[in-house]
Structures are given as C-alpha cells and as structure tokens.
Amino acid sequence: MTTLLRIDASAQQQDRSLTRMLTTLFTTEFLHANPDAKVIVRDIGQDPVPAIDHRFIHAAFTPPEEREDWMTDRLALSDALIDEVVAADIIVMGAPMYNYGMPAALKGWIDHIARIGRTFSFDLARGDFPIEPILKGKHLVVLSSRGEFGFQPGGPRAHLNALDPAIAACAHYFGVDTANIQTIAIEYQEFKDARHDRSVTAAKDATRALAQQFARSAKQTISHLTDQSRNKDKTMKDFPTHTLDSAPADAKPILQAALKGYGFMPNLYATMAEAPTILEGYTTLSAIFSKTDLSETERQIILMTNNRLNGCKYCMAAHTTLSQMGGVPDDVITALRNDTPIADRKLEALRQFAVVINESRGWPTDAQIEHFLQAGYTRQTVLEVILGTALKTLSNYTNHIAETDLDPAFVANAWPASSAQAAE
C-alpha cells in the first residue's frame, strides 16, 4: 500500500490558500486513481511545530541510551513527525514563497525532521562530507505559490529564489534525491491579472496530471508484485532455452557470434532466439549503445540502474560481471547493486537521471533535466540515457517472462533476492 504524506505550510486559511487548494487537488486525484492508498495529513501552517531550542539540541545529540526522561519528552513530537516521513512513499508539500524564502512553519518542521541517528548519520571519518542520509527512495512534490514571477532557473528573478534551493538542500533528510523533486508553482499572485488566472489553471492541470501519474505508478507496482507469483509456473514452461541445433534459422548466426565472443552462449540470447527479431534487435541496439561517447562506467550506470529498477536478477548478475571485466570501479558497482549514492557527483547525477527516465516513463521535468545538464552532461546524453533504457527494457522484460536461468559465468555475482524484492 502506498502512503502519501501531505504537508501544508501556508499561514492562510483554507478558503484563501492557493497551496492548500493544490494539495487538496493532488490528494483527491491520487485517491481517486488509487483508493487503497493511505494519506497522512500534517498542517503545520495552522498548527505550527515549536521552534527548536537549546534543550532540543541537547536532547537530540545525547545518545538514546543516555537520555533522561525530559529529553525523551522533548523529542516526542520530533519522533512523531519523523515517523510520518519514514512511513511515506510520496511527500506532497504545500509551500508558498514568503519573502522569497520558505514559511517559518516549514523551516520549523524541517528542523524537527533533521535528526542525527534518525534521518542522518554523522562521521568525520568521511572527510569533508560527514553527513550521510539514512532515508532514501522517496518522492517529493512541492506545490507552491509566488506573488511575483520568473523564479525558475534562467528566469528574471531566479537570483531571488531562496525557496526551491532551500527545500532541495534539505530533501535528503526526507529520503529524497534532488532528481526526485517535482515543483508546480502558481505565479503572478500579487498582479491579480489574466496571467495569474492562466497560471492557476496551468498549475491545477499539472497537479492533476502529476497525481494521476504517481497513482498509476503505485498501482502498477502493487499489481506487479501480486501477479508475479501467480504467473511464475505458467511462464517458465512456455519459453524454451534454445541450443544452436534447436534455434530458428534466423537466430543461429547471432548465437554463433555470441558463442565466439563470450566463449559460451548466454541464456538470455538462447531465450530470445525463440523470436529471432528481438534477438537481432537487442544485439543491434547493444552494439549501437556501445558507440556512444559515454564511458564504459557511464554506460553500465544506465544499464544497471534500469536492471535494478526493473528487478531483473539475471541482468544485474550479468552486468555486474561485465562491469568488473570492463574496469568499472568497485564502489560504483556496489552502489548500483545496493541502490546507494555514487561518491563521484557527476556519476551520481547520471544514476539519478536514469532513475528519473525510468520512473517517469520518459516524462522528466524541466528542473530534472536542468539539474542533469548542470552536472556536466549534455542534451545528447539525455537521449542516450533513453537509448540505454530501451535496451534494458528488451532484456529485463524477456527475463521476467521467461525466468531466464543464470549462466555459470554469472552465478558468483548473483543479485540477492532481498535486493531484487526491494527493487520490485
């Protein structure tokens, strides 16, 4: 079951709050498309959390086993707020822009969420980056309103925008990668003219569409988990693993080339041989992908990220082996298998963008594309990520349906069942 956490930070009453109008619309549309979802509502605008003080800081930085009773009491609200974030898969945040920044209520909530030992760990052995997030894998939708206009990157007031960067800077405390933040904003509120009316309409349309997209994605994940075991026995009986003798004639030249290149005939190829066209498509597209300007490490980041997101045990084991053979750094391979950040920031941006392309079904936001470009990649790379995603769709889906057995060459790098289940 998907859990949605709704945070409202506006100081306005319901009938005057544009951001509450948007968060209500998002929640309504989400539940309409996914009625089994759970919704947690926290209105910090109408019921602000108290500001942290020296007693809160003292309690938070005291190890749990050494806390006195008053410390536990002082942290009780913070613990409850964090528990709501931990439970959430999607956080939808009504965050108006106040004096170019965030409302005080939202800052107060974040101060309660950012807790050592609960949402981040701190270790000076990590050098200049001692903070490491504990939570991960969540999505954040920011629904905002702004009195003026042009706060987007490259806009005339981008330099005044202290709201979006502040939320992005703190998102790791919520378990959200910056690539998984989607922002919809109403502008021109102070002008109260036709531009404002158009902005309201556009924001409502975008909010409605985004809520439906998230709801569909959540339902597909649940359906996949439910149907997978039901179809297991049936599918594996219907798809043979061919040999050179049994394969259709059109597949044999490709299988012979694979045998020569690998020293064995991968079971994926032997399975695809049932339909020579998909085997030809996969091997041709694979050869084309290898011609991109991307390094071997960058190509494997795209491919292995899709393998993980699609829950493909065969391809994760196979590409772990290929990555080792291709000189991909061990820490990168480990991060890709375990869904943890890559230390190299540019490579991590590539991993995050590959996630965005997969999970959004090819609908990244302008902000997500801009974040990727600012990391040092190009529009060509954007399209090459799509190419790698298409390549892995062919193999991952084939392996799902046929339940392809691992080849002995890949068994040593088998992907743990727990990791595969988490991805699914």
Residues 302/99, Cβ–Cβ less than 8 Å: no
Class of domain 229-423: mainly alpha
pLDDT for residue 157: 94
**HSE of 267, CA atoms in CB hemisphere, 13 A:** 21
Grouping H, G, I as helix, E, B as strand and the rest as coil, residue 277 is helix
CA distances for 394 relative to 200, 307, 339, 387, 399, angstroms? 41, 11, 22, 11, 9
Residue 418 is predicted with a pLDDT of: 46
Q: How far apart are CA 94 and CA 104, in angstroms?
A: 13
**CA-CA distance, 114 to 119, in Å (whole number)?**
6
* Mean pLDDT in consecutive groups of 10 residues from the start of the chain, 424 residues: 94 90 96 91 95 96 94 96 94 98 97 96 92 92 96 91 96 91 94 94 91 77 46 56 88 88 85 93 93 94 94 92 89 91 92 92 88 92 96 93 85 67 43
Topology adopted by domain 3-222 = Rossmann fold (3.40.50)
Which pLDDT does position 220 carry in this prediction? Answer: 58
Residue 201's CB: how many other CB atoms inside 10 A? Answer: 11
Q: Are 403 and 236 in contact (CB under 8 A)?
A: yes
Q: Which pLDDT score, from 0 to 100, does residue 313 have?
A: 92
Closest CA to 177 of 215, 223, 139, 220: 139
What span, in angstroms and rounded, lies between the C-alpha atoms of 83 and 81? 5
pTM above 0.75, yes or no: no
Helices (H) and strands (E) in the chain, counts: 18, 7
Q: What is the Cα–Cα distance from 7 to 149, expressed in whole angstroms?
A: 24
What pLDDT score was predicted for residue 325? 86
Burial group, residue 91, by CB count within 10 angstroms (0-12, 13-18, 19+)? buried
What's the number of CA atoms in the CB half-sphere (13 Å) around residue 166?
19
Instruction: For residue 219, give Cα distances in angstroms to 3, 58, 92, 222, 398.
Output: 12, 43, 18, 5, 22
Place of tokens 């219907």: 238
pLDDT for position 419: 45
d(CA 310, CA 397): 8
Instruction: State the pLDDT at residue 417.
Output: 47
Please list, in sequence order, all residues whose beta carbon lies within 8 angstroms of the beta carbon of residue 354, skipping any fewer than 6 positions away.
301, 302, 305, 306, 385, 388, 389
Task: Name the burial class of residue 294, with classes exposed (0-12), middle (13-18) and buried (19+) by CB atoms within 10 angstroms of its CB.
Answer: buried
Residue 132 has phi, psi (to 5 degrees) of -135, 125
Residue from 133, 98, 102 nearest 115 by CA: 133
Contact of 181 with 168, CB cutoff 8 Å: yes
Output the 3-class SS for 180-230.
HEEEEEECCCCCCCHHHHHHHHHHHHHHHHHHHHHHHHHHHHHHHHHHHHH
Query: Which residues lie below 8 Å from residue 289, measured CB to CB, with a gap of 6+?
Result: 299, 384, 387, 388, 391
Sequence ranges of the domains in the chain: 3-222, 229-423
